[in-house]
Homo-oligomer: A and B are copies of this chain.
């Protein structure tokens, strides 16, 4: 069966401010030493398994130009544009109806565009195994990451070690982000994996599940699907997509559906959740500093500096994040990386939208 990929690139993350902006979200940034953007790396990574012509990018229509610029070889028709953001269930559903139209049935790998994977061959192996499971019936398949710490920022998936299908385990349930105590218990139980947000299924399977658990969304998607290739296509998409209720695939489908399988992945996954991740991912010097740009450091340790043209002199810093951009500069103590959103809230309240 045809293998396809649906890469979700419509996110509007705020955690890489001031580099990420409303018109330049994280997936379009380069956050590694490699120089390529997160989206480019995601597409490149998957290509041994899926040809470029079978890779679809679903994004907000305001980012279409960015996608074309970053992926000039991708057929333009493979960029699916959401008129508005409606979370992952409508996003994935939109991909599914387009693929159903193009391929009839196909195995569809749903992938975020803003995660990093260190070991591509291990990843592709796991993904390939996942495709086999997805093809063998009407299974919803996902990849889970074996936790190495009690993270409270991720969803978790409980699996049943005794119920296997090839390399996959049956999923008992999806759970939302836990508190620290619960996360510790999950870690100790050895029966929970992190929800990576990667899914593998046949287009027919996900559409059936959407029909069962999000019937309203399914109806709207069907109307969009019928219009594909007709003159009304754009107009129908515009009208119908806005009407779809915003819903995540996790809450809307995965927490309710049966027949879910999970493959545990160990391929150096990193969701690159904040500027802290850049300190982990990029090469640091002997003092633990990750420094780029026009920078002089004196007595500075464990600090990440992303300069621009301006000279930055860092004196006596420890555990800091400094990010310069053309019009805004962030200076943040690493322990406060989660508070960058407060800066953006403040800017919103003050109606300083040019900085968002």
Contact = CB atoms under 8 A, between A and B. Distances in A.
Contacts of A312: 328-329, 331
A340 B336 CA distance: 26
Interface stretch (A53-61, A209-217, A264-272, A315-323): A315-323
Interface in A305-337: 310-318, 320, 322, 324, 327-333, 335-337
A232 interface: no
A119 interface: no
Given A298-B342, A343-B296, A332 B315 contact: yes
Given A298-B339, A298-B343, A343-B296, A329 B311 contact: yes
B314 A331 contact: yes
A90 interface: no
Given A310-B327, A339-B315, A355-B311, A296 B347 contact: yes
A346 interface: yes
Interface size class of A (residues with CB under 8 A): 35 or more
A311 B344 CA distance: 12
Nearest to A305: B331
A332 B298 CA distance: 9
Total copies of the chain: 2
Interface in A207-229: none
A313 B335 contact: no
B298 A336 contact: yes
A18 interface: yes
A330 to B, nearest CB: 5
Contacts of A324: 329
A331 B343 contact: no
A333 B298 CA distance: 11
Contact of A346 (B298, B342, B343): B298
A181 interface: no
Contacts of A317: 331-333
A148 interface: no
Contact of A331 (B18, B313, B355): B313
Given A315-B340, A317-B331, A318-B333, 8 more contacts: A298-B346, A299-B336, A311-B352, A312-B328, A312-B331, A313-B331, A315-B331, A322-B331
